[in-house]
């Protein structure tokens, strides 16, 4: 379904993925909450996105792919009738997702207990940075702040002078939305057995710490130094690093295992000069050799040498070029739909293939009338006339 006008009808159950039939109420936020709901919608769930009239900063727009796959409804949640409307949606839902500071939903009369009173099977997903409790629970923060106190940001990057944060991938989406979705799916499975829902407290600090479990394991085993660019997987080893090519582009080298390292050295043409892989006292010499060799050709030339081999070497390309990479193109990892280049739903399923449905809404409230009607809300026109709901 591709709808861009306020008059187009919304039908439930149009998803094709394994979550078809699951109904989700999303109280709109930014970052990890919308990403989690994008994933649920991608996998077939019916998600209805409840936004404040006029939307909010960084949360909307026709190009915001995090909002794809579900209709946008604008409700003034400070209005008691809007609260009653959300509870009407909750009554028939399986999941609610919200990303407010702790206590906000309770003050709106839409907290876990309020929702459980009308639907005891509801899974209530809460997405925050610091978590629902703890000394920082009420403080503002963003991705890099959350991952900073988990010990994760400290080790990121190959700069000995300071850490480097990888945009907001690790916290918001790695330790945030991913763990929220895992929690929601686990709670949905449990609810099928118990008949009761529960609250999922998905905190970015918790998820990021869990995501970083391998580093904790290395540290416990005495195989990790709390410095940057000195360990096996942080650029400390010359055979697991990034190298510049003659045209200013870069190659990723991950030749950890001896057989892969041997292939790297052979294809670089430096077998007669390269130190042994684990002659650590000569790693400086090895790194200089690799640096000079990679700088002798363009990225395209090195890709031709390495791609498809067991050397574990790949050219580093921007997202604008990723769709055209032969492997990505063959798998259809990116598609153009509704004039937007975007990733296809992941992961893939053998029977219930997930497909894309609605494009991102252009404005908050683009589908208010159609979506509330589809969800069985009474007197939608009256809600709009009284200013409780807004149709743009």
Active site residues: 142, 172
Q: Which residues pair with 124 in a beta bridge?
A: 96, 199
Any residues with CB less than 8 A from the CB of 374 and at least 6 apart, and which? 9, 10, 11, 12, 71
Buried b / exposed e over 101-117, threshold 16 CB at 10 Å, is ebeebeebebbbebbbe
From the list 71, 74, 32, the residue with the least C-alpha distance to 361 is: 71
Task: Judge contact between 236 and 229, C-beta under 8 A.
Answer: yes
Rounded to whole angstroms, how far apart are CA atoms 121 and 237? 51
Calculate Rg over the CA atoms of the chain: 25
Tell how far CA 134 is from the center of its chain. 25
Tell me the C-alpha to C-alpha distance, in Å, between residue 248 and each of 164, 240, 244, 378.
20, 19, 6, 61
The helix or strand, by DSSP H or E, that contains position 50, with its residue range, turns out to be: strand 46-51
From the list 34, 85, 37, the residue with the least C-alpha distance to 390 is: 85
Rounded to whole angstroms, how far apart are CA atoms 196 and 309? 51
Task: Judge contact between 286 and 240, C-beta under 8 A.
Answer: no
Any residues with CB less than 8 A from the CB of 144 and at least 6 apart, and which? 153, 165, 168, 171
According to DSSP, residue 360 is labeled P
């Amino acid at each position: 379904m591709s709808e861009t006008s306020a008059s187009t009808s919304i039908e439930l159950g149009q998803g094709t993925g394994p979550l078809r039939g699951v109904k989700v109420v999303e109280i709109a936020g930014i970052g990890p909450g919308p990403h989690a709901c994008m994933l649920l919608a991608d996998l077939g769930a019916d998600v209805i996105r409840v936004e404040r009239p006029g939307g909010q900063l960084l949360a909307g727009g026709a190009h915001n792919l995090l909002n794809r796959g579900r209709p946008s409804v604008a409700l003034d949640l400070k209005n008691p009738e809007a609260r009653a409307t959300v509870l009407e949606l909750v009554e028939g839902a399986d999941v609610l997702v919200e990303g407010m500071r702790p206590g906000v939903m309770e003050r709106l009369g839409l907290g876990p207990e309020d929702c459980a009173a009308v639907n005891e099977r509801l899974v209530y997903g809460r997405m925050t940075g610091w978590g629902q409790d703890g000394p920082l629970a009420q403080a503002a923060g963003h991705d890099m702040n959350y991952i900073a106190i988990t010990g994760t940001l400290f080790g990121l990057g190959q700069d000995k002078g300071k850490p480097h944060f990888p945009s907001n991938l690790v916290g918001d989406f790695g330790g945030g939305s991913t763990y929220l979705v895992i929690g929601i799916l686990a709670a949905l499975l449990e609810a099928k057995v118990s008949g009761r829902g529960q609250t999922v407290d998905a905190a970015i600090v918790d998820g990021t710490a869990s995501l970083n479990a391998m580093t904790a394991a290395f540290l416990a085993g005495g195989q990790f130094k709390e410095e940057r660019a000195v360990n096996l997987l942080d650029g400390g080893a010359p055979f697991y690093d990034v190298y510049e090519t003659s045209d200013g582009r870069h190659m990723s080298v991950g030749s950890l295992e001896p057989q892969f390292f041997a292939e790297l050295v052979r294809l670089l043409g430096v077998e007669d000069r390269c130190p042994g892989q684990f002659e650590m006292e000569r790693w400086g010499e090895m790194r200089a050799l690799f640096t000079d060799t990679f700088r002798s050709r363009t990225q395209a030339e090195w890709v031709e040498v390495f791609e498809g081999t067991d050397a574990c070497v790949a050219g580093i390309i921007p997202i604008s070029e990723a769709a055209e990479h032969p492997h990505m193109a063959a798998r259809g990892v990116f598609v153009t739909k509704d004039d937007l280049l975007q990733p296809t739903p992941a992961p893939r399923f053998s029977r219930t293939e997930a497909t894309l449905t609605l494009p991102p809404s252009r404005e908050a409230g683009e589908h208010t009338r159609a979506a509330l009607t589809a969800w069985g809300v009474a007197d939608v026109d009256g809600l709009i006339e009284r200013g409780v709901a807004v149709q743009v």
